[in-house]
């Protein structure tokens, strides 16, 4: 049965996390007041991160390091002491490579694309009160096996509706919820039994557009705002600090980024020597890119590490976490390494880039919790919207503060 929260005097909302990764979505769900009962993740480094977080936070969250396809939802439900319909939230973000515009985009012909429908398999057994899915925007027009554009999304929605859910979709800009990163992802939230969910209103606005509004929102958080007070990273001397704030930049990459101005990328700087630019083309806008102090970061990607706005070095994993909205108390496990070559398991930069920004997850999870609470109280309480304040993480307090 759901646990009783003594402090609130009411039932704690429960959650099950699929494809948990480094736990960015889980951080937000926990901050929203849910008890994450279990996380399912196949990557060993991500699982080490998840286990460490659960241990430090004295949580009983079970970390299942398994291929999700080998897990029987009914057996897991019994192990978690749940009955069908008792789980409040099923959440996660399945692998995106099959739907990404920058990959081969094999969609359902790729076994990773089929993992999207694991949410349906688990929902059939658990019958959760709400489901939250995150994916890349390419999902919306991804063709199905018959080649129908948008067919994958339509199939997913049809399966959710067949289970009795009301799916709602929105493309969310992380910058609108206090994250200093121009990241856009699709979120699909599905509820049933009369729960009236509405996506939370943005708490930050584009400063170029807010000038012309009557009640402007605070501007997007910038790289300077996110990295403020973080201090210098330690050099790469074979010691990996717990906070992951270490400079691993190889000498060759220091030389190549030298002379690239803030906010620019190497291929654009035609005045630099050809041997420095090597074989980069005008399409290589994310390779050897410096971020700008005065703007949000570009979307963090697994392909390359972005460079510091003013120093000839990569951003550290801790700086990546700041740009993603993780609290400074959250620690990553696993190796820290460069971008070259294919890797089987996720290093720390990739763990961050693959994850959901915690402030975005928190804002949506808060809205889900509010909808479930209102449904439980009765129809007179439905429909209230309350945006969640943006988050800025400060090193001095090692905790989130609202602004």
> Helical H runs in 82-198?
111-114, 118-126, 151-162
Rounded Cα gap, residues 9 and 12, in angstroms: 9
Indicate which residue of 96, 107, 278, 302 is catalytic: 96
Query: How is the chain split among helix, strand and coil, in percent rounded to 5?
Result: 35, 15, 50
Rounded Cα gap, residues 84 and 73, in angstroms: 11
Tokens of 85: 């319909």
For 130, 149, 168, 188, the CA distances from 140, given in Å and listed in that order, are: 21, 8, 13, 11
Rounded Cα gap, residues 180 and 196, in angstroms: 30
Which residues 6+ apart lie within 8 Å of 374 measured at CB? 195, 196, 381, 382, 383, 384
Q: 96 catalytic, yes or no?
A: yes
Rounded Cα gap, residues 309 and 260, in angstroms: 10
Rounded Cα gap, residues 402 and 389, in angstroms: 6
Task: Give the containing element (helix H, strand E) for 38.
Answer: strand 34-41
Rounded Cα gap, residues 91 and 361, in angstroms: 10
Residue whose C-alpha is closest to residue 401's, from 331, 332, 329, 327: 327
What is the DSSP pairing of strand 234-235 with strand 246-247? parallel
Residue with tokens 């101005």: 261
For 11, 172, 279, 357, 359, the CA distances from 393, given in Å and listed in that order, are: 30, 21, 38, 13, 11
Tokens of 135: 């994916």
Rounded Cα gap, residues 22 and 19, in angstroms: 9
**CB distance 100 to 138 below 8 Å:** yes
**CB distance 34 to 27 below 8 Å:** no
List, by residue number, the catalytic residues: 96
């Amino acid at each position: 049965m759901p646990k009783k929260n003594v402090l609130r005097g009411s039932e704690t909302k429960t959650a099950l996390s699929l494809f948990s990764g480094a736990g960015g979505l889980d951080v937000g769900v926990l901050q929203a007041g849910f008890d994450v009962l279990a996380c399912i993740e196949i990557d060993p480094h991500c699982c080490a991160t998840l286990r460490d977080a659960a241990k430090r936070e004295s949580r009983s969250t079970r970390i299942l390091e398994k291929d999700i396809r080998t897990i029987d939802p009914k057996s897991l439900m019994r192990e978690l002491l749940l009955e069908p319909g008792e789980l409040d939230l099923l959440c996660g973000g399945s692998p995106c490579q099959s739907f990404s515009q920058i990959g081969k985009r094999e969609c359902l012909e790729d076994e990773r694309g089929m993992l999207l429908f694991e949410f349906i398999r688990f929902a059939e057994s658990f019958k959760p009160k709400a489901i939250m899915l995150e994916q890349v925007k390419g999902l919306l027009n991804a063709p199905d096996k018959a080649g129908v554009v948008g067919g994958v999304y339509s199939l997913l929605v049809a399966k959710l509706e067949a289970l009795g859910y009301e799916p709602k979709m929105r493309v969310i800009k992380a910058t609108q919820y206090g994250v200093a990163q121009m990241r856009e992802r699709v979120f699909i939230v599905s509820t049933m039994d009369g729960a009236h969910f509405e996506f939370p209103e943005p708490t930050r606005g584009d400063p170029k557009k807010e000038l012309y509004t009557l009640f402007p929102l605070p501007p997007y958080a910038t790289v300077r705002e996110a990295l403020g007070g973080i201090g210098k990273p330690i050099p790469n001397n074979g010691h990996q600090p717990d906070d992951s704030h270490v400079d691993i930049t190889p000498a060759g990459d220091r030389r190549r980024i030298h002379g690239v101005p803030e906010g620019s990328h190497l291929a654009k700087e035609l005045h630099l020597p050809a041997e420095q630019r090597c074989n980069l083309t005008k399409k290589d806008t994310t390779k050897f890119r410096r971020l700008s102090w005065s703007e949000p970061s570009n979307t963090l990607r697994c392909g390359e590490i972005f460079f510091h706005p003013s120093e000839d070095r990569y951003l550290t994993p801790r700086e990546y976490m700041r740009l993603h909205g993780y609290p400074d108390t959250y620690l990553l496990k696993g190796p820290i390494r460069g971008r070259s070559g294919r890797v089987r398991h996720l290093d720390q930069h990739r763990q961050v880039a693959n994850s959901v920004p915690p402030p975005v997850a928190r804002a949506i999870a808060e809205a889900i919790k509010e909808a479930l609470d209102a449904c439980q109280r009765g129809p007179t309480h439905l429909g209230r919207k309350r945006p969640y304040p943006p988050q800025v993480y400060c090193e001095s307090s090692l905790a989130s503060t609202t602004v």
